[in-house]
Amino acid sequence: MIIDLRSDTVTQPTAAMRDAMLKAPLGDDVFGDDPTVNALQERIAQITGKEFALFMPSGTQSNLCALMAHCERGDEYIVGQNAHTYRYEGGGAAVLGSIQPQPLAQNTSGEMALADIAAAIKPVDCHFARTRLLALENTWNGHPMSQAYLAQATGLARQHGLATHFDGARLFNAAVAQAQGGTVADSVRRIVDHFDSVSVCFSKGLGAPVGSALCGSKELIAKALRWRKVLGGGLRQSGILAAAALHALDHHVDRLADDHALAQRLAQGLLGIEGLSVRSVQTNIVFVDVADDRGPALLSDLKAHGVLATGLIGLRFVTHMGVDAEGIDHALVCIRRHMGSQSTEASRAQGAFGVY
Q: Which helix (H) or strand (E) holds 257?
A: helix 256-270
What is the DSSP code (8-state) at residue 143?
B
Q: Interface with ligand PLP includes 60 (CB under 6 A)?
A: yes
- What is the chain's length? 356
Q: How many Å is the maximal CA-CA distance in the chain?
A: 71
Q: Interface with ligand PLP includes 248 (CB under 6 A)?
A: no
- Which of 36, 106, 212, 344 lies at the binding interface for ligand PLP (CB under 6 A)? 212
Q: Which is nearer to ligand PLP, 205 or 306 (CB)?
A: 205
Task: Please give the C-alpha separations between residue 97 and each of 11, 66, 75, 235, in angstroms, as whole numbers.
Answer: 32, 10, 9, 21
Applying the rule CB under 6 A, the residues between 63 and 102 that interact with ligand PLP are 63, 84
Q: Which is nearer to ligand PLP, 57 or 269 (CB)?
A: 57
Class of residue 224 by CB neighbours under 10 A (exposed 0-12, middle 13-18, buried 19+): buried
| Least spacing, CB of residue 59 vs ligand PLP, in Å | 2
Q: Interface with ligand PLP includes 41 (CB under 6 A)?
A: no
| Least spacing, CB of residue 60 vs ligand PLP, in Å | 3
| Least spacing, CB of residue 84 vs ligand PLP, in Å | 3
d(CA 197, CA 112): 19
Q: Interface with ligand PLP includes 173 (CB under 6 A)?
A: no
Q: Which is nearer to ligand PLP, 4 or 301 (CB)?
A: 4
Q: Which is nearer to ligand PLP, 60 or 238 (CB)?
A: 60
**DSSP characters over 20-85:** HHHH-----GGGT--HHHHHHHHHHHHHHT-SEEEEES-HHHHHHHHHHHH--TTEEEEEETT-HH
Query: Which residues sit at the interface with ligand PLP, rule CB under 6 A?
Result: 58-60, 63, 84, 137, 167, 169, 201, 203, 212
